[in-house]
Amino acid sequence: MSGTTVASSGDLLTERNRAVSRDSQRDALEDATVDEAQLQQTEAMAERRATAMSALGQAAQAEAQRVAANAWVLPVASYRLTNRFGQAESYYASGYHTGLDFAAPSGTTIKAVAGGRVTQAGYNGSYGNKTVITLDDGTEMWYAHQSSIAVSVGDTVAAGDVIGYVGSTGNSTGPHLHLEVRPGAGDPVDPYAALQQNGVTP
Ligand SMILES: [Zn+2]
């Protein structure tokens, strides 16, 4: 009797061990499945990140190339074009609007459209706080009505550098950047056309 008892007890133990072993295998299988799913998820995430980084890298590279080529950039990131060049405007001595107006909230950063040297920076009557940047070819770019100026005369700036902040100083009815383009420091030309000719459409 005792032999049978021992034997059956042993069988039971073996059976339990097998059951435990099966459970372990199932757990291991489940673990493997979870690991595989996690791995795929991680790989997909890494791939997405790599794609994003690559796009970011390409954008940075394109921007660097534009800067290297002294290409023009838009002066304000988010804006609404209001007054165009040539519109009749009695309060300017010329009788017409001599620039292009980019309406944007006061304090919005103004970037240099093109690289050059700061040749004027200060208050200038109806233009309010005005900065003049002279390009290598002698073209002057005027940035008017700024709330504050971030550069000084003699500074060299690259396209895209922050030069000041949008405001409503001088003869202005609301915060905006008044941009003028004056080839050879002479009469103003249409900034919209000048920007387009240099690869940027405002
Ligand atoms: Zn204007």
**pLDDT attached to residue 177:** 98
Return the half-sphere exposure (C-beta side, CA atoms, 13 A cut-off) of residue 99: 20
CA 195 – ligand 1 centroid, Å: 16
CA 158 – ligand 1 centroid, Å: 24
CA 23 – ligand 1 centroid, Å: 79
- Compute the distance between CA of residue 71 and CA of residue 114 in angstroms, rounded to an integer: 7
**pLDDT attached to residue 37:** 76
For residues 95-119, average pLDDT: 96
For residue 67, pLDDT over 80 is answered with no
Length of the chain: 202
**Banded model confidence at residue 17, pLDDT cuts 50, 70, 90:** low
CA 125 – ligand 1 centroid, Å: 13
CA 153 – ligand 1 centroid, Å: 23
For residues 174-180, average pLDDT: 98
Helix (H) or strand (E) run with residue 31 in it: helix 2-68
- Compute the distance between CA of residue 22 and CA of residue 31 in angstroms, rounded to an integer: 14
Across-strand partners of 88?
96
For residues 20-26, average pLDDT: 55
Mean pLDDT, the chain, as a whole number? 84
Render pLDDT for 111-134 as a digit per residue (tens, 0 to 9): 999 999 999 999 999 999 999 999
CA 41 – ligand 1 centroid, Å: 54
Least confident stretch, 88-97, 126-135, 142-151: 88-97
For residues 137-147, average pLDDT: 98
Give the tokens for residue 195: 């920007």
DSSP per residue, 105-131 = -TT-EEE-SS-EEEEEEEE-GGG-EEE
CA 178 – ligand 1 centroid, Å: 4
**Banded model confidence at residue 48, pLDDT cuts 50, 70, 90:** confident
Dihedral in degrees, nearest 10, Cα atoms 59, 65, 111, 136: -170
CA 172 – ligand 1 centroid, Å: 8
CA 85 – ligand 1 centroid, Å: 8
**pLDDT attached to residue 189:** 97
